[in-house]
Amino acid sequence: MAKKDLHYTRNIGIMAHIDAGKTTTSERVLYYTGLTHKIGETHDGTAVMDWMAQEQERGITITSAATTTSWIYKSNKYKINLIDTPGHVDFTVEVERSLRILDGAIATFCAVGGVEPQSETVWRQADKYNVPRIGYVNKMDRSGANFYDVVRQIKEVLGANPCVIQIPIGAEEKFRGIIDLIRMKAFYWHDETMGADYELDEIPADMQAEAVELRDKMLENLANFDDNLMEKYFDDPSKITEDEIHEVLRKATIAMQINPVVCGSSFKNKGVQPLLDAVCAYLPSPLDTPHIDGVDPRNPDNKLTRKPDDNEPLCALAFKIATDPYVGRLCYFRVYSGRLDAGSYVYNPRSGKKERISRIFQMFSNKQNPVEAIEAGDIGAGVGFKDIRTGDTLCSESHPILLESMDFPDPVIGIAVEPKTQADVDKLSVGLAKLAEEDPTFTVHTDEQSGQTIISGMGELHLEIILDRLKREFKVECNQGRPQVAYKEAITKTVELREVYKKQTGGRGKFADIIVKVGPVDEGFEGSLQFIDEVKGGNVPKEYIPSVQKGFQIAMRNGVLAGFPIDKIKATLVDGSYHPVDSDQLSFEICAQIAFKNACAKAHPVLMEPIMKLEVVTPEENMGDVIGDLNKRRGQIEGMESSRTGARIVKAKVPLSELFGYVTALRTITSGRATSSMEFFNYVEVSTALAKEVVAEAKGRVELL
């Protein structure tokens, strides 16, 4: 029974650029599948999937909302777990963790804007986790909509292989319906039923030739992936049946060799039902991904696999922690194998502890429907646990397995916060701890020198939302400092030195002696500390070497210039000596920390700053002012393009420290006509003059520069 069911399960997400219409599409899906009886709108603040107050006010998605619904396709009932993800780059973690556990995705594109910078980011994230996707060109009713141009961009900019299976009838205000190239029928929607009813009709006579031509292109594209289809295509294309086309499309989509492209206008209620059909027809079920790989936590060299079957041992991945005012902390998870029953115990290999999941829910945005169990291939949420974090594996104690966790980007911007009254002190720390638990890209630390609480995140909007949530959910009023850039430090030379740590205070003393080489890491090294042990003849006993490594790791958190973290170093332990009585692990750890400080001061330390990739879309007449302003902000202009609407797209790389309040400045220069979007690119060295200013401001050691 369960086997059969899984064929009819789809775990999908909707991913796209800001304002491509993800949430609007999700709302239509809920309405047509019968989950809601009224269509929610983002701009009215009534969208079901955008349930947070901050989302409704701003009309943007901040957290990914999960919903379970069903759809009838070819007289089979499909269960669809749908996740609506944010578009803003500040909340990129939400997209990342959703894609990690999804089987397929709908990549939505705006028919006017086409492929935008953030579309590229989410596309790359989906490539990283091998998620097959369908393209959906939305907003066909807007002025400037051009379906074929967007398909061209998907091919050229994203390097994908789009396969057009639907074409629009008319565009802009004349957009009336779509032509299905597989069935060679036209779909028209009835506005009076909010698009719930549609009729199939013959293709309009003036579009017949175009439809035949594009159907031929589609078959030609598909023939590359199947020999039988190729034979038929060359013999007599009219003999190719619908089922054969569906079969090859599905096979090629799951193999990520092709992306079926459909179109519509979610806001005008056109094209959503065929999109749901395409999800059921072409995107993979949990059974199409044959197994999930992991390692044995007791022996990391031992590889393990789990199949999507209820009878297998339990294996699930926690991909999101959320706080709900009514049920407490919710843990969203995807079950890969076995089943998770309410009230059962799970084992967490990261903490090595057992956790009890007292209740289990199927999610409907921010509401929960209690269920008895979540089976393999399904997504649900549980409460009652004590210590589960994002990216943890949940498994059975008798058959432990550790799945690959997720990588999260480092925060790039920080601000100092302090509570307004003494009464808020405890509330603030509780609130920040809960928010940091929910969001892995949000970090909290206390500055050692000033004693301030610094919160760091992915951008100004991200921190604004955090502060807003503190105020509303945790009732904490805070004062905030001005934004600070998350600088890093690096060293440019290799230095060798000897460090002796001695302390004698009567009785047992402390003694450690090490010779170390400290310098930049080798090319191609992934990670932060490259530690090499070259000690011969037991001069430093084996049990003390991990302490030296630990000392370096701790010391890297605070660099020598101004206490910013050091990103990457190579440390080689060459030699050393010990005292049979006075030496212990702590002595060697402290010795390594002192050695690191002294070596870095001699190794020509430099300051590194985050660089952002910026795209500005501006009218032609404001172009000069925009570029002049970017040059003032130490920006490097990388290129200029013309969009088809006649606007110019300026691409540049600009240091983050120069971009605070850029949106307002841009509005001023262009009278509100230009828009910009940015994402983190990399860290680069700061010029000495600027570095001196930054280090002096942080009351660091300017003399080392």
CA distance 639 to 220: 36
pLDDT for the residue numbered 375: 87
pTM: 0.74
**What is the spatial distance between Cα 587 and Cα 578, in angstroms, rounded to a whole number?**
10
Q: Is residue 297 within 8 Å of residue 202, measured between CB atoms?
A: no
Please tell me the predicted confidence (pLDDT) of residue 704: 84
Q: In the predicted model, is pLDDT for residue 3 greater than 50?
A: no
Host H or E run for residue 640: strand 636-642
Buried b (16+ CB within 10 A) or exposed e, 596-616: bebbbbebebbbbbbbbbbbb
Question: Is the Cβ–Cβ distance between 361 and 375 less than 8 Å?
Answer: no
**Residues forming beta bridges with residue 357, ordered by sequence position:** 344
Residue 45 CB coordination number (10 Å) = 14
Which residues lie below 8 Å from residue 304, measured CB to CB, with a gap of 6+?
Answer: 293, 294, 295, 296, 401
Arithmetic mean of pLDDT over the chain:
85
Q: What is the mean pLDDT of residues 223-234?
A: 88
What's the pLDDT at 634? 92
State the pLDDT confidence band at 2, using cuts at 50, 70 and 90. Answer: very low
Q: Are 118 and 87 in contact (CB under 8 A)?
A: yes
- Between β-strands 413-419 and 133-138, what pairing exists: parallel, antiparallel or unpaired? unpaired
Cα gap 89→13, rounded to integer Å: 17
pLDDT band at 655 (very low <50, low <70, confident <90, very high): very high
Question: Which residues 6+ apart lie within 8 Å of 655 measured at CB?
Answer: 609, 610, 611, 612, 633, 634, 635
d(CA 337, CA 292): 9
CB 161 within 8 A of CB 258: yes
Which of 134-138, 233-237, 258-262, 338-342 bottoms out in mean pLDDT, i.e. has the lowest? 233-237
Give CA–CA dist 160/486, Å, rounded. 35
Q: How far is CA 648 from the centre of its chain?
A: 29
- pLDDT tens digits, 368-410: 788 898 888 888 888 888 888 888 889 988 988 988 877 777 7
Q: Are 359 and 342 in contact (CB under 8 A)?
A: yes
Confidence class of residue 136 from pLDDT cuts 50, 70 and 90? very high
Q: Under 8 Å CB-to-CB from 216, ≥6 apart: which residues? A: 237
* 205: CB partners within 8 A, 6+ apart: none
| Residue count (the chain) | 705
Q: In this predicted structure, what is the pLDDT of residue 55?
A: 67
Which pLDDT belongs to residue 439? 81
381, 399 in Cβ contact below 8 A? no
Query: Apex CA 675: angle with CA 148 and CA 39, to 5°?
Result: 65
Model confidence at 677, in pLDDT bands (50, 70, 90)? confident
Q: How far apart are CA 440 and CA 625, in angstroms?
A: 38
Q: What is the pLDDT of residue 519?
A: 92
Q: Which pair of structure tokens corresponds to residue 204? A: 């309009």
Q: What is the pLDDT of residues 464-508, one digit of tens each?
A: 888 888 888 888 888 888 888 889 999 999 999 999 999 887 778
Reported as a pLDDT band with limits 50, 70 and 90, residue 458 is: confident
The per-residue pLDDT for 1 is 34
Residues 140-194 have pLDDT tens digits of 988 888 899 999 989 988 888 999 999 988 878 888 889 999 889 998 887 777 7
Q: Tell me the three state secondary structure of residue 571.
A: strand
Cβ–Cβ under 8 Å, residues 125 and 133: no
Q: What percent of the chain has pLDDT over 90?
A: 20
Q: Other CB atoms closer than 10 Å to residue 235's CB: what's the count?
A: 10
* 538 three-class SS: coil
Spatial distance between the Cα atoms of 339 and 346, rounded to a whole number of angstroms: 11
For residues 488 and 566, the answer to whether their CB atoms sit within 8 Å is yes
Closest by CA to 695, choosing from 416, 410, 489, 453, is: 489
Helical axes 227-235 vs 242-254, angle rounded to 10°: 140
Q: Tokens standing for 285?
A: 């079920």
Nearest to 111 by CA among 156, 153, 146, 160: 146
Q: Look at 3-7, 584-588, 701-705 and tell me which has the smallest mean pLDDT.
A: 3-7
**Residue 581 in tokens:** 């009585």
Categorize the per-residue pLDDT at 596 as very low, low, confident or very high, splitting at 50, 70 and 90.
Answer: very high
Q: Which of helix, strand or coil describes residue 654?
A: strand
Residue-wise pLDDT for 24-47, tens only, equals 888 888 887 777 666 666 666 656
State the Cα–Cα distance between residues 245 and 237, nearest whole angstrom.
11
pLDDT tens for residues 411-438?
A: 888 888 888 888 888 888 888 888 888 8
Check pLDDT > 70 for residue 603. yes
Structure tokens at 201: 């009709």
Beta bridge partners of 364: 67, 367
Distance from C-alpha of 93 to C-alpha of 409, rounded to nearest angstrom: 8
